[in-house]
Structure 1
């Protein structure tokens, strides 16, 4: 039975000159320049093949690393001697040229992963073109894939068995949608949405199942005004207790869009509580990082801090 590599930085299969973050199940959009040379990791041995092929691949990879090291040494010596080597090509003693361009097969191997995850300064964002906004994609989050709701824009990677009715759950998700009550204030919209956000995430899903055994109680932990992309908005956050599992947190954020008719936008957050859930600070990071599409510098303004006022 084959196994997938653990989360980490690996050579990008589509562009081996950079490293790309593998979250353990899929490639993300986080990329960086390699910090140190990485040794390729030989993948699982196909069924019916003996161990000899794995040894050949390993020796071939080691030989490639050795050749690259020799070529690099030639280039450095040539520069020290006043040569005109460009760094991409070096002359050997026989007069032939040796290039350091990675071979096509390099993209098919897994380099060893580094311990560090994508930095908080990574510019990756997700777009909600309908409402004209972008949101930052924090470390530990991925763009929405294989989710039932069309409005979900990002989730935590992977799934787990729900503690209540049979099914698969995620530790966190964020969705954005246009509010139906276009004449209501952001405060009224957020307070009118929070109960439905709780029920949808933790009480009963669209199929009528109760993945957490139902909601037993909730309490408000935070609420107040906040600037979203330079516009005055309002948010409400609840702590939810469920019959099974650790429960979680939901937040409803409402603000006027800066495009078109400036219809109000609702952004919902649903995070599992406990050690496996994403940090609550991600709610604040995403909220503060929302920008109008094409205007990444917009920020601050009235209510720019996320406060505890009501």
Structure 2
């Protein structure tokens, strides 16, 4: 990313990690990791801690100026000089602490959380957040979710903007002894409906699904556990349709409840590259582990 370094932060010796205005677009803020700009963006947030410093410094200057003026206006009295202790006690203090700047927490994240990783505490896994994606501040569900940063008007002209790609992680209920292939095959219809038929709020941003075809169904090793994935290509009433995938696998925490990660990518030139589904799947890890994920070879469309 070609961007200038953010302006120095008053009171600091460098530019700490945090959100800063995009020099070319004031309506967007970018994440500065302390040494370089990243691909993460968001809308500006009011009342940021790092922006209060000029006001605090100005306040100190006013206090000092008033104190100096007061001293200059006191008439001289050569007959009695105040004791040193009294003069010291009445002198205004100029040692006003200035708070050190700190980065604004990532939306939906706790302070210090890595903005490039989505954590699913319930299922004991982490998912990578690709460049150009983010963890949204607001969603229609309470599921761990990552979405594309870019938005565009929904194809059905509902007056809303739609994300071009969405990935969610959840726990699902399954019959005792059900295979992960069966779990994925049963979940894919729900995943497709939520993405392209009718969302959780009853919106039909794509006008509904007209047809679908299965383009992949195979075993997959995720976070060191063997599961199964099913992928559909769906055709919608409006727009180019999309790709939907349900990836079912055992929780690395040893829980009996299966984990399902759902993918929904808009088709067409504006949608995410289909290969990114495999890349995200390979990047799923058990919490606290930097290795162990992967799906093997890529899956063709």
1:168-247 equivalences under 5 Å are 168-181=161-174, 183=176, 184-247=178-241
How far apart are the structure 2 equivalents of 1:22 and 1:229?
37
| Residues 157 and 255 of structure 1, relative CA distance in 2, 3 Å threshold | same
Alignment TM-score, normalising by the size of structure 1 = 0.62
Q: Distance in 2 between matches of 1:147 and 1:238?
A: 24
User: In 1, distance between residues paired with 2:227 and 2:18?
Assistant: 38
For 1:183-237, what per-residue CA distance to the aligned partner results, in whole angstroms no more than 9, with x for missing partners?
3221111100111111111012233332111111111112211110110011111
2:6 equivalent to 1:11: yes
- Structure of higher CA gyration radius: 2
The Cα offsets for residues 235-276 of structure 1, whole Å up to 9 and x where unpaired, read as 111111111111111100000001152421000001111111
Q: For the structure 1 residues 225 and 16, does the alpha-carbon distance in structure 2 shift closer, same or farther, using more than 3 Å as the test?
A: same
**Distance in 2, Cα, partners of 1:222 & 1:126:** 26
Which deviates the most, 152-161 or 279-288? 152-161
Unaligned runs of 5+ residues in structure 1 are 1-5, 36-103, 108-121
Q: 1:21 Cα deviation (Å)?
A: 8.6
Structure 2 match to 1:45 = none
Aligned to 1:276: 270
RMSD of the TM alignment (CA)? 3.3
Measured in 2, the distance between the counterparts of 1:249 and 1:263 equals 26
CA distance in 2, matches of 1:152, 1:239: 24
| Separation in 2, partners of 1:288, 1:266 | 15
Describe the shift of the 1:178–1:163 C-alpha distance in structure 2 as closer, same or farther (beyond 3 A): same
The unaligned stretches of length 5 or more in structure 2 are 38-99, 104-113
1:9 is displaced (CA, Å) by: 6.6
Preserved CA contact (<8 Å) 1:250 1:271: yes
- Determine which of 122, 130, 138 is the counterpart of 1:138: 130
Cα deviation, residue 182, structure 1: 5.9
Q: For 1:266, what is the secondary structure of its paired residue?
A: strand
TM-score, normalised with respect to structure 2: 0.63
2:35: which partner in 1? 33
Aligned partner of 1:253 in structure 2 is 247
Give the distance between the partners of 1:123 and 1:262, measured in 2 at CA. Answer: 30
Shift in CA distance, 169/33, structure 1 to aligned 2, threshold 3 Å: same
Shift of 1:144: 2.3
